[in-house]
Amino acid sequence: MAVNGNGHRRVVITGIGALTPLGNDAETSWRNLVAGESGAGPITQFDSSDYFVHFACEVKDFDPSNWIDRKQARRMDRFAQLILAAARQAEADSGLEIAADGDRIGASIATGIGGIKSFQDCYDTLIRRGPDRVNPFAIPCIIPNMGAGWVSMELGTRGPLSSECTACAASNMAIGQGLDDIRLGRADVMLCGGTESAINQVGIAGFGAMRALSRRNDDPKGASRPFDAGRDGFVMGEAGAVLVLEELERARARGAKIYAEVAGYGLSSDAKHVTEPDPTGRNPARAMTMAFADAGIDPKEVDYINAHGTSTPLGDAAETRVIKLALGEEKAGMTPISSTKGATGHCLGAGGAVEAIFSTLAIRDGKLPPTINYEVEDPECDLDYIPNESRDADVRVSVSNSFGFGGHNASIVLKRLQE
């Protein structure tokens, strides 16, 4: 059995699938990201003319019937439809026939909010038409665990099944849970990822009221500007993204395509505030250093960081301090960092999975994706954020950070596979 320096079973990525604001599959999304494209545009899912914000990063031209039986799709919220489509893509990419070996295959699928559109529809029907007209599938559409549930039911996974709901750290935690399930022998393969679809009246009004969203209504594509001095909030995004994690020897035995190794994972909490990040950076930095230790790497080995970088004034400055604490001032100043949320917006509970895929493809292709819309340096954000244009690099170790409301911190380390 292949084990790492800590005695754990080694785990690799053998399949990916994603629907993002940059494309309806992982490779298209990656190409558009590297090209510096933005997924932002006017909101089409409802009339936003009376709202603070009129734009978002939507998944475009998504037809659930390409992936899901029409009757089943009507029983699912959009967040569940997106993750099931991504899971089917990842299964196909991996070359697995999941249902044939479902007892040893599980799923760990995250969301930050779940079926918020279905909740809104249920309440509207209740008020307008009365309780006897509420959709009988309302509750299964609303509850956050049904993204994971639908993946398991439709693909036939019968191993561990979990659903992390830890705000914007959720899908990094889902990847970590899947990693642990394989390391501990509960499963040999785990479908790990996240999904979110909160571009509706409640989502936009709620985040808008707390002034978390950018209000650059005259410039949607330039609104998400992580680490830039002019940042004024995040742009709401949506996505579904899945990575197939597989025990290394099993993957090799079947001749699987291997993207990268999932080498380490770290967690911490801020214990500070419902929305504001830890201003010292100390607690999120502990998540990063735990991930380094779990992966058996020295911080000096990190070649690229995909930052949480949401384009909020407090968050981006705090993460700069986090990275300096975790890597040390000198190494932090030498390490390329990007926030791909400049292009995708903030996909909330799906963000970590989308960014883990991007971090994986950076290793595969030797490409560092840019932080778009970076124009004016902020003295509090003084690191190398790969401004506006992608960069060629030899990427052996990449790190992806996710930090969530309530003080949830999760960091993962991905490595180029070596013997």
Is residue 376 exposed (0-12), middle (13-18) or buried (19+ Cβ within 10 Å)? exposed
Is residue 311 within 8 A of residue 237, CB to CB? The reply is no
Residues with a catalytic annotation lie at 168, 308, 346
List phi, psi (to 5°) of 314. -75, -45
Which helix H or strand E contains 69, and what residues bound it?
Answer: none
- 353: CB partners within 8 A, 6+ apart: 18, 110, 171, 172, 174, 175, 192, 193, 194, 239, 241, 242, 243
| DSSP letters for 168-227 | GGHHHHHHHHHHHHHHTTS-SEEEEEEEE---SHHHHHHHHHTT-B---TT-GGGT--TT
Amino acid letter for position 357: I
List phi, psi (to 5°) of 269. -135, 155
Q: What angle do CA 25, 27, 33 make, to 5 degrees?
A: 100
Distance CA 3, CA 415 (A): 15
110 bridge partner residues: 194
